[in-house]
Amino acid sequence: MRTTLFLLAIAMLATGCNPCKEACRVESRQFETCLGDWGLEWIDLGATDRPDYRRSCVADVDVWLDGLPIEEQATERRSCQALVTDLRGETDCDAAWEALRDYGTVE
């Protein structure tokens, strides 16, 4: 068991796990759960469905982060990680809406 966890941690470090790409995955799950509550549809997000949103989001994140200076990339990755933390496992659509609305704001 320890060996498996160790190897998983090494694999994540080697692949450079990008929290902004993880945010895309977590957002897409949250949207799938809450769009109806929010009175929205996938088309309102520029997508046809959850996989389409996720693919588009990940592609946009790559372009967006690559266009930022290195120091800003680190700041944005921290913001993405905070969003992932806020949304992961969230079942209250109002709380999810607040997390998405507040994403990237400086406190």
What contacts 24+ positions apart, CB below 8 Å, involve 27-32? 27/53, 27/57, 27/83, 27/87, 27/100, 28/53, 28/54, 28/57, 30/87, 30/90, 30/96, 30/100
Q: What is the pLDDT of residue 3?
A: 45
- 40 against 15, higher pLDDT: 40
Task: Quick: pLDDT tens for 32-68.
Answer: 999 999 999 999 999 999 999 999 999 999 899 989 9
Domain ranges of the chain: 18-102
pLDDT tens-digit series, residues 92-107: 999 999 999 988 765 5
pLDDT at res. 86:
93
Instruction: Specify the pTM.
Output: 0.77
